[in-house]
Amino acid sequence: MYDVEALEKEWKRYRRKKLLPWLGIIIFTLLLIVYISNREKISEKIALYFNEKNKEYLVSKEKNETVIKDNQNSKNPQVTVNLINENNSSNSTRKSYKPMKIELSEDPNAPKEHERKYLEIIVTDKMHINKKSNDELETLEVVEKRYNQENNYEDALYLAQGYYKQEAYKKAQKWALISNNLNNSSEESWIIFAKSKARLGDYRAGEKILEAYLKENSSTKVEKLLKMMESGNF
Amino acid sequence: MESRYNSAKNVFIDSIEIDDYIALDSSVASYKQLLHSIEKPLKMILVFGRPGTGKSILLNYLYENLKYQKDIHYFATPTTNEKEFFHKIFKVITKKDLPSNTRVNFSTLVDYCRDIHGKREIIILLDEAQMYSPEMMERIRLLSDTRSVKFIIALHKTDKEDLIAEEHFQSRIWEVVELNNGTLEDIKNYIHKKLLKKNIFEIANAIKNNHISLIYKFTKGNYRETNKLLFTVFEICEYYDNRDKDSKNENIFSKKIIEMASIKLGFINV
């Protein structure tokens, strides 16, 4: 009599080998089902992943370019951030505030060595809003309506934060400016404005906004954010 | 206590005993064709087929059925020694023994066969005829030409044997009975009938169509391979039956066991 136990082990090996193609088919089918049912989410994640990759690539490329250009010309950067005090007291309902306007301007005659060529990946607000849950959007809408009635700084900042969270960066930028107009000492409005700029691809503007804030104020949070942007980790 | 699978195992020992003959539709047809051919004034009949298609058992079955009715003789084991072979032929034809130190004078034997033409009709069944040398086959042909001796020759169907058949019998064999591997239905009937013949009902009932299909897949309907496979299957069943004595009522026969036996016999290459 031969060794039946050894034969059984051999049979188990044979079964595993036989099941392998089926296992592959099942896994493939499951992945296909998961992909079909979550196609939009997966596509979004893939797009975000590649966006991040593009940004990293461009930042690293930019660094290299800057090093080379710095050797050639060490003039001041051309993108400047102007903080313009605007006397809006006649229009403002809150006269106690001295609203400030954050304005970005570029010197068209300046040499171009610091100009960055970002691949601007613009994701429209509409597209993003459609993807977010109705609850969050409804809340933002309610707060927006309330702001229109009360012109409250907290509401404006909440909207800026909310839209930033929703990845609606243009709207976040708009509400950061409004909240900054209502409260010029609001660090958070500067941060959201700078972050939104960066998220829309304009990293240099984001950095300049933060640098401008740091000239007048001291903030470790803003410094940290600036460092992240400069190192390409944002 | 002997395992219930022991008797089932023994059913599938490959043999050509008449008790093991299973009357399937295809084998019955071949048998009838052979019987019909014997009645014709033919000199040679060729039973042709791949190994394991039932040639030997068919010849044996024919011999056992006709041995009291006809002058029929069955040479199951080929005798490759020419002297010994013609001693046997001499004895069959003349019904006399020759001393072992003498040699058959072939031309005298042929003359003797001519003399008995019309008085006797001798039928000689030659199994495994591919084992005989071309010279011996030529002498067999000469004997068959006397019309007193009719040869029924069982040959394996391979390329080489095709050539033998072509060279030696093309002009002389008037009838060819070709045996083939069984169909799925044949194999099913074969297995069930074999078990039921020995009253092994429980195991016969446990063998379902999916088991038969698997067996057929591996053996391709060859009866000898089927016997080998089922013998090994029941040998494995016997092992499990003896090992797990507590689960006596549990049916061990399964596709797993068939696959294990197939691995053992090389039908499956792991």
B240/A11 Cβ within 8 A: no
User: Which residue in A3, A5, A14 has the most chain B C-beta atoms within 10 A of its own C-beta, making it the best mutation to test that interface?
Assistant: A14
Looking at CA atoms only, how far is residue B236 from chain A in angstroms? 7
Q: Which residue from A1, A7, A17 is facing B260, i.e. has the nearest CB?
A: A7
3-state class (DSSP) for residue B53: coil
**Higher-confidence residue: A136 or B226?**
B226
ipTM for the predicted complex comes to 0.76
Contact B104, B89 (CB under 8 A): yes
Q: Does B270 touch chain A (CB under 8 A)?
A: yes
Phi-psi region of A117 (alpha: psi -120 to 50; beta: other; left: phi over 0): beta
Which amino acid is residue A7, in one-letter code?
A: L
Looking at CA atoms only, how far is residue A12 from chain B in angstroms? 9
Residue A67 has pLDDT above 70, yes or no: no
Q: How far is CA B185 from CA A47, B213, B221, in A?
A: 60, 9, 9
Q: Specify the pTM.
A: 0.57
User: What local confidence, expressed as pLDDT, does residue B162 receive?
Assistant: 58
- Read off the pLDDT of residues B112-162 as tens digits, 9 standing for 90 and up: 999 998 899 999 999 988 888 888 888 898 999 898 999 999 988 765 555
User: What local confidence, expressed as pLDDT, does residue B158 receive?
Assistant: 64
Q: Residues of B numbered 201-260 whose beta carbons fall under 8 angstroms of chain A's beta carbons: which are they?
A: 235-236, 239-240, 256, 259-260
Q: Does A7 touch chain B (CB under 8 A)?
A: yes
Structure tokens at B130: 């591919």
- Read off the pLDDT of residues A112-128 as tens digits, 9 standing for 90 and up: 444 444 555 555 555 54
**Higher-confidence residue: B118 or A129?**
B118
Contact B138, B165 (CB under 8 A): no
Phi, psi for residue A83 in degrees, rounded to 5:
-100, 110
A1/B260 Cβ within 8 A: no
Query: B-chain residues within 8 Å CB-CB of A7?
Result: 236, 260, 263-264
Q: Which residue from B240, B264, B270 is facing A2, i.e. has the nearest CB?
A: B264
- Read off the pLDDT of residues B239-261 as tens digits, 9 standing for 90 and up: 998 888 766 667 789 999 999 99
- Read off the pLDDT of residues A157-187 as tens digits, 9 standing for 90 and up: 999 999 998 889 999 999 999 988 888 888 8
User: What does DSSP assign to residue B19?
Assistant: G
User: What local confidence, expressed as pLDDT, does residue A63 receive?
Assistant: 57
Query: B-chain residues within 8 Å CB-CB of A8?
Result: 260
- With a pLDDT cut of 70, the percent of chain B lying above it is 91
Band the pLDDT of A59: cuts 50, 70, 90: low
User: What local confidence, expressed as pLDDT, does residue B234 receive?
Assistant: 95
